[in-house]
Amino acid sequence: MASNFFGQIFRITTFGESHGPGIGVVIDGCPAGLCLEERDICEELALRQPGKNLYTSPRKEGDFAEILSGVFEGKTTGAPIAIFIRNKDADSAQYEAIKDLYRPGHANFTYLEKYGIFDYRGAGRSSARETAARVAGGAVAKKLLAHCNIACTAFVSEIGGIAISPPDLSNLQTIREKTHASPIFCPDAIAAQKIMQKISEIKEEKDSLGGILSCVAHAPPGLGDPVYCKLEAMLAFAMLSLPATKGFEIGSGFGSARMRGSEHNDPFDLDEQGKIRLATNFAGGTLGGISTGAPILFKVAFKPTSSIQKPQATVNLQGEKAPFQMPETGRHDPCVAIRAVPIVEAMTALVLADALLLGRCAKL
């Protein structure tokens, strides 16, 4: 299986399966001298954990990150950083009854077609469990970005057709505090209550919901490279590599197709200190694939959770039509977008960290 890595200079390679001994990540390219402890990573993993409330999977993943290499006396050494996270609450028995059926909305059909073998216990590498390793890698990237005064935050902006009021993007700390105060990572308290009610209703119907996440980053101008490694292209690559993602848009996105050039162009202006800035931000923080210094703003669409309790039609591995029913003991998220918030944030940090290091090669 190829393509288990992401990034060029700041590069992560993830490994492990959802029901194996554990999962992990190896980080290459992290500069030496960066302060890093296991608790820095565990704090980020805690944000991703399910089982905290009625709106996520009941699976208990008390994830603890073990740093195996690349750190000495609390600082990175420049060597590869290996992080391991043990699987502690995997229940493979629930998959026995459906192991010979193609699961609607899942990857066992395509994996079997491509590889001829598939780990049916929680979907192996195609499981969202793999994303914990990305969050661990993103935690290290965030430490590097913080050293350079670069920050990003993600949040729920729409679930089940219920959208939030647009937040003030000038203060990331306020958005983060409101987001983390919500059990569903939604900074709009009124919309959050409506969304939670909607999720409760959909659970009673044994169904699931999709959602849209937004992410905003404050970064200096100059990040990103023209042509194939444009900043928005790398962000799109990162986001669409996540399980269950179905769409990406930056700035005005698809709305720009319904605008005129005179409306969409962001005029250049001067601030109170005489520094060049953009008066508007329809471009979403990039021009020519390079950051402008304006907030980098994008959205990611997540499909409804594929694992639902409603009966569905399918085919078995022998090519015969068959009914499909998830076991009543199945532990799945009613809306995967909720727990994807820290994952989107981690992937954003990985893109920005890589762009930051690549940018050091741009000029003398």
CB 302 within 8 A of CB 340: yes
9 lies in a domain?
Answer: yes
Cα separation, 72 vs 83, in Å, equals: 14
326 lies in a domain?
Answer: yes
**pLDDT tens, 104-132?**
999 999 999 999 999 888 788 898 999 99
Nearest to 347 by CA among 162, 130, 51: 130
Tokens standing for residue 329:
């003991």
298 lies in a domain?
Answer: yes
pLDDT confidence tier of residue 60, bands split at 50, 70 and 90: low
pLDDT confidence tier of residue 189, bands split at 50, 70 and 90: very high
Locate the DSSP E strands across the chain. 5-6, 11-16, 22-28, 65-69, 71-72, 75-76, 81-86, 151-159, 162-163, 211-218, 245-250, 268-270, 276-278, 286-287, 290-291, 296-302, 312-315, 321-324
pLDDT at 204 over 70: yes
**pLDDT tens, 210-224?**
999 999 999 999 999
pLDDT at 353 over 80: yes
Range of the domain at 306: 5-359
CA 321, 322, 326: angle at the middle one, nearest 5? 145
364 lies in a domain?
Answer: no
Share of the chain above pLDDT 90, in %: 84
How large is the average pLDDT for residues 141-158? 98
Domain count, the chain: 1
Tokens standing for residue 288:
């020519």
Q: Cα–Cα distances in Å, from 81 out to 5, 9, 78, 208? A: 14, 14, 8, 37
Nearest to 159 by CA among 269, 265, 302, 23: 302
Q: What pLDDT, on the 0 to 100 scale, is given for residue 121?
A: 83
CATH of the domain at 303: 3.60.150.10
As beta bridge partners, residue 81 has 27
Helix (H, G, I), strand (E, B) or coil at 150: coil
Share of the chain above pLDDT 70, in %: 96
